[in-house]
Structure 1
Amino acid sequence: MVTPGQLLFDHHSHDLRGTRAGSGSLAVHTLGTRMEDFIAWANHEAAARGLAHEIIPPAPHGRLGTERFRRSLAWHIARRPGGLVALAIQYGHLRTSVAAGYAARSRDGIHDLFDVETARATIDTVADLNAALEDGLGVSGPAARRAIKAAASAAQFTGTVISARQARQLLANPHLAVYDNPHALLMCVCKRDKALCHRGLKDVPSLDQWVPACANIARTDQHAAGLRRRATSLEQQAGHVPGPLGERLRGNATRLRELADAHHRTRISLQDGTE
């Protein structure tokens, strides 16, 4: 949408008049107008193509506005792999004592927004895991039984509207600390005293710094299948690069297949995990 290195709504790319100097994004009023224009355009296109199910319904609380658009962006960002970190960066907020010093952001509700979306993403993770377990999914790893136990609590939260206060309570519940990262092909069922990925005052695990020996790791059948696909891709790459690099890629592929084999040897199911 914009030149690399610029803001998502950089005024150089989106200001049609192009008369404003300096850096920065579009003004709040302009953004609100653009969103309403986009909704009108999208609905016109959907109606013209007979796609009634794609029409954006009227907002029950009036115009969309930048605040509600921010919440929509937060919802989608938080549910991407590594999205909670990206959400913290996007909204200039980290759930630490340092961030608490930004009084303006606190008044604007950014702390509540982050907590609510983190809690919702966590509930979605355990709900998806619970549904997959009921369909026969297998789980392996030192935290497999804790993952199954956490998934069993999903039903009481599914479909509920979460307030900021409820979100803080959910995030404080150690039995719901389940984080999935498809890129890392693992799931972290976090117990702070067992985590090897970080030290210090962090509230959430660093899924991009996972340690193979960590006691919080769990893998599902889906993760194991992903390991095999990635191994196949590495082997294909190895055939097109110089010898030493090719050997390294083939070695990584072998290691990934060994992890997948170990999963299938040790996996447990929902019935096993509740015994």
Structure 2
Amino acid sequence: MNAIRVLERLVPEGALLFDAAVHDPARARTRSGSLGSNAIRDRIDAFVVWANTEASRHDLPGQRIPPDPHGRIGTARFRRTLAWHIARRPGGLVALALQYGHVRTALDTDESGRYGTRSRSGIHRLVDIETAMATADAAADLAERFHQGEGVSGPAARKALLRATTGPLFQGGLVKRDFPLKHELARRHLAREGSVLFDNPHALLLCLYQRDRALCRDDEQLAAPVLDRCVPGCGNIVRTDQQAAALHQRADQLDHRAGLLPAPIGDRLRANAVKLRAWAQDHDLTRFTAEENPT
């Protein structure tokens, strides 16, 4: 966000953020529009050199940017990074639309809404793959924690453990030459309703999404949960000991902040802290472990 604001101050009103006439004035007469991919790569290379020089000057070896094993960093690489954040953050698509104004990019499903291209290899495919990988990671992590003795709770806990330990997982990273195959596998993985486990770090819970039990959908036939509208008491919820401990920690932070703020705001923060502790205590009372209740 800060970088976008800086760019807005560098270019004239109504100009492109990476306007070639501003950022590459030596070639302004020979080209129009935004900087080309080669120019962007040159600037990224220059930034790496500058950052490493500053790290050495301030004796901060841990801040150096190491050589990239995959070669020079180009604009195509950013789409993968963007897809990762969209897929692994609640409300990611909405945040993308609000922050960068790509409303059609974020919310449309037709071909005209593809990011940076009208082909079928737009960012939506990348988001599908990253989302499938994120759900597979969540399932594997849940199974591992449970077998190591961590307790779980929630109306969907037993079913989630069964799916995590016996169901098929989406495996493998993104390889360019079999990208269409990866996308098709990702779509099939995400289409298994009632078997896909979504992590919601903001609500500190897991969601084994099943439409007829979801309280986030508001009568909409959604193929995935709306993770920024999680409702306590939903039949899709799963919670782990680690998430319950994080609820207690977040409640303590709210109480601390409440003591530093005016009464009306402080009262709201304390009320939220009470809710968080109640959810954590409910987990503590209903949790089960592999030793107590193996699946």
**Corresponding residue number in structure 2 for 1:109:** 121
Shift in Å, 1:44:
7.2
**Corresponding residue number in structure 1 for 2:270:** 250
Shift in Å, 1:155:
8.0
Shift in Å, 1:157:
4.0
Preserved CA contact (<8 Å) 2:105 2:113: no
The structure-2 alpha-carbon separation of the partners of 1:70 and 1:150, relative to structure 1 and needing over 3 Å to count, comes to same
The structure-2 alpha-carbon separation of the partners of 1:37 and 1:241, relative to structure 1 and needing over 3 Å to count, comes to closer
Structure-1-length-normalised TM-score: 0.77
Q: Identity of paired residues, percent?
A: 42
Q: Which letter maps to 1:128?
A: D
**Corresponding residue number in structure 1 for 2:153:** 140
Shift in Å, 1:222:
1.6
Specify the SS of the correspondent of 1:187: strand
Q: Counterparts in 2 of 1:31-42, with a 5 A limit?
A: 31-39=40-48
The structure-2 alpha-carbon separation of the partners of 1:25 and 1:120, relative to structure 1 and needing over 3 Å to count, comes to farther
**Corresponding residue number in structure 2 for 1:195:** 214
Preserved CA contact (<8 Å) 1:115 1:167: yes
Q: Counterparts in 2 of 1:19-34, with a 5 A limit?
A: 26-34=35-43
How big is each residue's C-alpha offset from its partner over 1:224-251, in whole Å with a ceiling of 9 and x where there is no partner?
1111112112222232334444333323
Structure-2-length-normalised TM-score: 0.73
Count of aligned pairs? 265
Structure 1, unmatched stretches of 5+, are none
**Corresponding residue number in structure 2 for 1:124:** 137
Please report the RMSD computed on the Cα atoms of aligned residues, expressed in angstroms: 3.7
Distance in 2, matches of 1:47 and 1:241, equals: 42
Distance in 1, matches of 2:51 and 2:285, equals: 50
The structure-2 alpha-carbon separation of the partners of 1:73 and 1:238, relative to structure 1 and needing over 3 Å to count, comes to closer
The structure-2 alpha-carbon separation of the partners of 1:156 and 1:254, relative to structure 1 and needing over 3 Å to count, comes to closer
Shift in Å, 1:88:
7.2
The structure-2 alpha-carbon separation of the partners of 1:152 and 1:208, relative to structure 1 and needing over 3 Å to count, comes to same
Shift in Å, 1:28:
3.4
Q: Which letter maps to 1:56?
A: P
Specify the SS of the correspondent of 1:260: helix
Distance in 2, matches of 1:63 and 1:231, equals: 45
